[in-house]
A and B are shown apart, each in its own frame.
Chain A
Amino acid sequence: MAERHPLFKPLVFVGGLLFGFGLGFSHMARPEVVVNFLLFEDLGLPFVMFGAAIVSGIAFALLPRIRDAAPLTGDPYERRLKPFDRNVLVGGAVFGVGWGLSGICPGAAYASLGVGNVTILWALGGMFLGAYAQGYWRSRSRAPEAAAAGAD
């Protein structure tokens, strides 16, 4: 792996800071607020995800027209496009049950820890356990057909 630009990690850190501050400010880092949205008791939450999607969407659309490559990596500016298959539906449904039950998603869980929510370690422990379980299972079952799996 090529040496990375010395500013690569500091920039990722600053991005993470803004990201986490925003999740705290919006209260998306609070499971109660997410559950209240899912119960239609406070419909403000979509402004977080879709607000963020609009901001990033502007950058995703404009940057490829302004520059050919990112200054710190030399990588081309591309959109986040992933191939569709049944996994998107199955995984999305499993994630939906978990999100609806707990009121927390991965990024919000990290930020929740930062705002002082030590109890969220239960959710973080569960997430690692779940990620490990599917990884263990998929590493086994995919081994013979690894070549055909492609990117995701």
Chain B
Amino acid sequence: MATSLVLLQAVAELFPNGISRYAVGGLLVGLGTVVIYVGTGIPAGASTFLESTLSYVSDQSRFQRYVASRDWRVVFTAGIVLGGLAFAATVQSGVVTTSLYEPGTTGTLYEVAGVTLWSTDVQPWRLFLGGILVGIGTRIGKGCTSGHGVCGVGSASKTSLVGVATFLTVAIGTAQVVAALGVSP
């Protein structure tokens, strides 16, 4: 009895926000991927949008190869942005409530026209510098968290499994070092 209580407590400490919001969110991300795949046969990733959109303003051959897909990738990204807004206007604003959602305490909430919006407290230099490396790395490494992580892993692709193991391991090391250096948030 006492051991199971200790076990429960350990689990609660590892998952302070439970798992339901993560699992439900992941289910929806997967569903979005499946909707596109069923209709079009395309396993869509999010980071190609960066290069395909650059083809509108740059003649570099590296971007021009994505001309054929650049219009629907803009539509995909617009959908992701508006999907985030739809979440903000419903669940985040408390208009729709569910026990599966754990609001947490990160960042800063603010209101515009009755919609509860959210903003990060992570410092802009981290976002900018990290963003540059994400832009370089995802494009050289053939995919990001959605291309490798969702579509590639879902395809049981060895390349993607190695890619995910690589960026996950390096990201954990980086975050630990950054925190150890006293950088927060």
Contact = CB atoms under 8 A, between A and B. Distances in A.
Interface of A: 1, 7-9, 11-33, 35-36, 38-57, 59-60, 63, 69-73, 75-84, 87-120, 122-136, 138-139, 142-143, 146, 152
A111 to B, nearest CB: 4
Interface string B129-145: 11111111111111111
A21 B170 contact: no
Contacts of B40: 8, 11-12, 70, 72-73, 75
Contact of A59 (B38, B104, B117): B38
Contacts of A45: 22
Interface of B: 14-19, 21-47, 49-51, 53-54, 58, 60-63, 68, 71-72, 75-88, 91-92, 101, 104, 106-107, 110, 112, 115, 117-122, 124-160, 162-164, 166-176, 178-179, 185
A77 B81 contact: no
Nearest to B54: A132
B127 A31 contact: yes
A88 B174 CA distance: 18
B60 A96 contact: no
12 contacts: A8-B39, A15-B32, A19-B80, A23-B83, A51-B26, A53-B154, A80-B151, A80-B157, A123-B127, A125-B131, A126-B130, A136-B58
A72 B68 CA distance: 16
B30 A131 contact: no
B124 A122 contact: yes
Contact of A102 (B121, B130, B159, B168): B130
Contact of B122 (A13, A31, A60): A31
B141 A22 contact: no
Nearest to B92: A115
Nearest to A19: B32
A40 B62 CA distance: 38
A114 B61 contact: no
B152 A32 contact: no
Given A17-B79, A53-B30, A25 B120 contact: no
A70 B41 contact: yes
B79 A16 contact: yes
A94 B133 contact: yes
A107 B145 contact: yes
B138 A91 contact: yes
A75 to B, nearest CB: 4
Among the interface residues A73, A90, A119, which one has the most CB atoms of the partner chain B within 10 A?
A119
B112 to A, nearest CB: 7
Contact of A115 (B44, B87, B143): B87
Given A81-B159, A99-B130, A49 B149 contact: yes
A26 B119 contact: no
Contacts of B78: 13, 16
A41 B78 CA distance: 32
Given A116-B110, A131-B54, 11 more contacts: A16-B78, A19-B83, A41-B16, A56-B34, A56-B43, A59-B34, A91-B141, A100-B130, A101-B175, A114-B88, A136-B60
Nearest to B16: A42
Contacts of A15: 32-33, 35-36, 44, 76, 79
